[in-house]
C-alpha cells in the first residue's frame, strides 16, 4: 500500500461516505488528495491530486499556453449517476505535468486496488467524452422513432455486447446529470454532439422545478 493523505472539504463522487479508501488517510503521506476543494501547491509531496467533476484541471491550476503542469494532477473515479463507483480511476495530466507525480499517483491508486488510465486535460476525460454523444444520439433516435427504447437497448446488449442498453444506462445515471455533463463539455468543445438531447433538457427542467 502506498500512503496518501486526504483533505476533504466537500462531497466526493469518487469516494462516497463509508468508502474504505477514505479510512486509510495518512497524515503527511507522499500523495495528497483533495476532495471537494481547491488544491494547494505543495512541492514537498510527490503528487497533489484534485478530484474533478465535469471541469478541467486547468480551472484549478491555471494554464500557460500549453506549458502548464506541475505535481498537481486531476482524477476522477468513474461512476454512472448514483450507481456504485467503478474500479476505474481516470488520472488527468497536463502537458508539462511531472512524470514522477503521475507515477506516484498511479502506483498509489493501483496499490489501493484501482485500475488507472492516464488522460490529457480535455473535456470529459475519456469516458464522458466518448459516451455522452452516444447517449445523446440514442435519445434523439428515440424521439425520431428509429426504434423503441427496448429495441435499442436490446441491440446494444445482443448486438454490441454491452452489459446494459444506452437508454436504460443514461436514464439510470440521471438524465439531468447527463444534461449537465453534456452541456459542460459542449461549452468547452462547441461540438453539436454534446448538446443535451431534448429528453435530457426536459429532465433538467423538471429537476429544477
Partner 1 sequence: MNATIRKVAICGAGGTMGAGIALVAARAGFQTVCHDVARQGLDRSRDQAAMFFSKSVERGRMTEEGRQEALARMLPTVDLGDLADADLVIEAVYEDLATKQDLLRQLNGICGEQTIFASNTSTLSITEIASGCGREDRVVGMHFCLPAQLMKLIEMSRGINTSHETFDAAWAWTLKAGQHPVETQDKPGFILNALLVPFNNDVIRAVEAGLASAADIDKAIKTGLGYKMGPCELIDLIGLDTQVRLCEAFYPITLDPRASAPPLLRRMVAAGHLGRKSGRGFYDYSRQG
Residues that bind partner 1 (CB under 8 A): 78, 86-88, 90, 115, 117-120, 122, 126-127, 129-131, 133-134, 137-138, 141, 144-148, 151-152, 154-156, 158-164, 166, 191-193
Q: How far is the CB of 126 from partner 1 (least distance, A)?
A: 4
Q: How far apart are CA 84 and CA 102, in angstroms?
A: 26
Grid cell digits, residue 69: 503542469
* Residue nearer to partner 1 on the CB measure, 7 or 88: 88
SS3 label, residue 192: helix
Strands ordered across the beta sheet of 72-77: 4-8, 31-35, 47-51, 72-77, 88-93, 115-120
Minimum distance between the CB of residue 24 and partner 1, rounded to whole angstroms? 21
Question: Which of residues 74 and 204 has its CB atom nearest to partner 1 in the complex?
Answer: 74
Supply the minimum distance, in Å, between the C-beta of residue 35 and partner 1.
Answer: 20
- Reduce the secondary structure of 85-152 to three states and give it as a string: CCCEEEEEECCCCCHHHHHHHHHHHHHCCCEEEEEECCCCCCHHHHHHHHHHHHHHHHHHCCCCHHHH
Which is nearer to partner 1, 29 or 118 (by Cβ)?
118
Q: Nearest distance from residue 128's CB to partner 1, in Å?
A: 10
Torsion of CA 129, 188, 53, 161, to 10 degrees: -10
Which residue, 43 or 65, has its beta carbon nearer to partner 1? 65
Nearer to partner 1, 32 or 73 (CB): 73
Alpha carbon distance 187, 190 (integer Å) = 6
Shortest separation between residue 102's beta carbon and partner 1, angstroms: 12
Q: How far is the CB of 60 from partner 1 (least distance, A)?
A: 19
The set of residues, in sequence order, having a beta carbon less than 8 Å from that of 8 and lying 6+ positions away, is: 22, 34, 35, 36, 37
Smaller CB distance to partner 1: residue 29 or 147? 147
Amino acid at each position: 500500500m502506498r500512503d496518501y493523505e486526504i483533505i476533504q472539504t466537500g462531497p466526493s463522487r469518487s469516494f462516497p461516505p463509508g468508502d474504505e479508501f477514505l479510512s486509510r488517510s495518512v497524515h503527511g503521506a507522499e500523495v495528497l488528495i483533495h476532495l471537494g476543494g481547491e488544491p494547494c501547491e505543495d512541492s514537498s509531496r510527490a503528487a497533489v491530486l484534485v478530484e474533478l467533476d465535469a471541469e478541467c484541471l486547468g480551472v484549478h491550476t491555471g494554464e500557460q499556453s500549453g506549458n502548464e503542469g506541475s505535481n498537481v494532477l486531476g482524477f476522477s473515479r468513474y461512476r454512472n449517476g448514483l450507481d456504485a463507483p467503478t474500479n476505474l480511476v481516470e488520472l488527468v495530466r497536463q502537458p508539462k505535468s511531472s512524470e514522477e507525480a503521475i507515477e506516484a499517483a498511479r502506483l498509489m491508486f493501483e496499490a489501493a486496488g484501482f485500475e488507472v488510465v492516464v488522460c490529457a486535460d480535455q473535456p470529459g476525460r475519456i469516458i464522458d467524452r466518448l459516451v455522452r454523444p452516444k447517449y445523446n444520439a440514442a435519445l434523439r433516435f428515440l424521439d425520431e422513432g428509429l426504434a423503441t427504447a427496448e429495441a435499442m437497448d436490446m441491440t446494444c446488449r445482443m448486438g454490441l455486447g454491452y452489459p446494459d442498453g444506452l437508454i436504460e444506462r443514461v436514464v439510470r445515471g440521471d438524465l439531468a446529470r447527463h444534461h449537465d455533463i453534456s452541456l459542460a463539455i459542449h461549452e468547452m468543445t462547441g461540438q453539436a454532439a454534446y448538446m443535451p438531447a431534448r429528453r435530457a433538457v426536459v429532465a433538467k427542467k423538471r429537476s429544477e422545478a
